[in-house]
């Protein structure tokens, strides 16, 4: 694919329309050309790995996702430091986003309020607040609050006044049975069939990224995922004829992504 880096970057995996990079997203983003990507989807650390417990497959398991999700992963000790972390990577993303580009960021109550504030502080205009309602969330073992069954996905354009973001309204209407699509998307957690190449603790289901890719990009455009995990963004990007750049600091997850991308079928 087209080289959009101003400094040398070694690809972990590369094809005509894909580039996977192993490394620190902060450093890699700083090496990219300004205004070079059309859309960004980010599923950043939620900072919820606090040694608590949850339920998975009917069993009690730890909520810890990995070292990248712990509060000290971003050298954070409190709310202010976590917010500083979010502002930093969002600022770097804004620099590489084209003038009419847009960004989608997913999160839970643990980080999404900081994300929303950071977007506004960095000059983005929030377009939509998507609520992903899960039909099969893990049960609440503590029984001291309501069951957590939703996540939020914020969609924002680069600039409040100057940007003219792309939205395929007709496609979304078609996918919704001829009716306007609302900002609540309901569906199951990631299917086992989408985890055949390996598991990631926060892997998003393909139907979510399908909507995001089709709603906000055109064929041939470049999609960036700075925390690409197991590569669901890339799978849907390639499936619908887009180009994809994925960054992750874990080689195990990039291996899963590579295997999934090699099996992705262009529709």
What average pLDDT does the structure give for the chain?
A: 91
Q: What is the model's pLDDT at position 160?
A: 85
Q: Given a cut of 70, is residue 13 above it in pLDDT?
A: yes
Do residues 40 and 226 make contact, with C-beta atoms less than 8 angstroms apart? Answer: yes
Instruction: Specify the pLDDT at position 50.
Output: 47
Q: Rounded to 5 degrees, what angle do the CA atoms 204, 229, 242 make? A: 75
Distance (Å, rounded) from C-alpha 116 to C-alpha 240? 29
* Token reading at 223: 């999609």
State which H helix or E strand residue 59 sits in: strand 59-62
% of the chain at pLDDT higher than 70: 89
3-state secondary structure of 20: strand
pLDDT tens digit sequence for 80-128: 999 999 999 999 999 999 999 999 999 999 999 999 999 999 999 999 9
Reported as a single tens digit per residue, the pLDDT across 79-91 is: 999 999 999 999 9
pLDDT surpassing 60 at residue 54:
no
Strands (E) in 158-207, as ranges, are: 184-187
pLDDT score, position 67: 54
Task: State yes or no: pLDDT of 49 exceeds 90.
Answer: no
Residue 215 has a CB neighbour count (10 Å cut-off) of 21
Q: What is the pLDDT of residues 213-233, one digit of tens each?
A: 999 999 999 999 999 999 999
In this predicted structure, the answer to whether residue 61 has a pLDDT above a threshold of 70 is: no
> Is this model's pTM higher than 0.85 or not?
yes
- pLDDT of amino acid 155: 98
Q: Does position 38 have pLDDT exceeding 90, yes or no?
A: yes
Class of the domain covering 37-220: alpha beta
- Sheet strands (E) in 117-207: 125-134, 150-157, 184-187
Phi, psi of 200 (to 5 degrees): -125, 135
Q: What confidence score (pLDDT) does residue 72 get? A: 54
- Ranking 139-143, 200-204, 228-232 by mean pLDDT, the lowest is 139-143
CB 37 within 8 A of CB 101: yes
Listed in sequence order, the DSSP H helices in the chain are 25-29, 79-96, 112-121, 169-175, 206-216, 232-239, 251-263
- The answer to whether 242 and 221 have CB atoms below 8 angstroms apart is yes
Q: Which of 180, 252, 170 is nearest to 215 (CA)?
A: 170
Beta-sheet pairing, 13-14 with 18-22: antiparallel
């Amino acid at each position: 694919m087209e080289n959009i880096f101003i400094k040398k970057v070694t690809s972990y995996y590369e094809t005509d329309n894909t580039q996977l990079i192993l490394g620190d997203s902060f450093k890699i983003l700083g090496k990219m050309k300004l205004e070079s990507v059309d859309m960004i989807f980010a599923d950043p650390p939620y900072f919820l790995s606090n040694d608590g417990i949850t339920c998975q497959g009917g069993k009690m398991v730890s909520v810890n996702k990995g070292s990248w999700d712990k509060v000290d992963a971003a050298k954070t000790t409190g709310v202010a430091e976590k917010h500083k972390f979010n502002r930093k990577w969002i600022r770097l993303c804004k620099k590489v986003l084209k003038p009419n580009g847009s960004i989608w960021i997913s999160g839970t109550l643990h980080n999404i309020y900081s994300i929303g504030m950071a977007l506004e502080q960095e000059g983005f205009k929030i377009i939509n607040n998507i609520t992903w309602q899960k039909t099969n969330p893990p049960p609440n073992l503590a029984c001291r609050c309501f069951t957590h069954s939703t996540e939020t996905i914020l969609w924002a354009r680069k600039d409040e006044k100057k940007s003219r973001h792309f939205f395929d309204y007709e496609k979304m209407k078609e996918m919704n049975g001829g009716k306007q699509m609302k900002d609540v998307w309901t569906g199951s957690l990631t299917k086992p069939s989408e985890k055949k190449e390996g598991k990631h603790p926060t892997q998003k289901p393909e139907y979510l990224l399908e909507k995001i890719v089709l709603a906000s990009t055109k064929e041939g455009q470049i999609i960036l995922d700075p925390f690409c995990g197991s590569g669901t963004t890339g799978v849907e990007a390639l499936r619908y004829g887009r180009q994809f750049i994925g960054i992750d600091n874990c080689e195990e997850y990039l291996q899963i992504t590579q295997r999934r991308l090699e099996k992705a079928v262009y529709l």
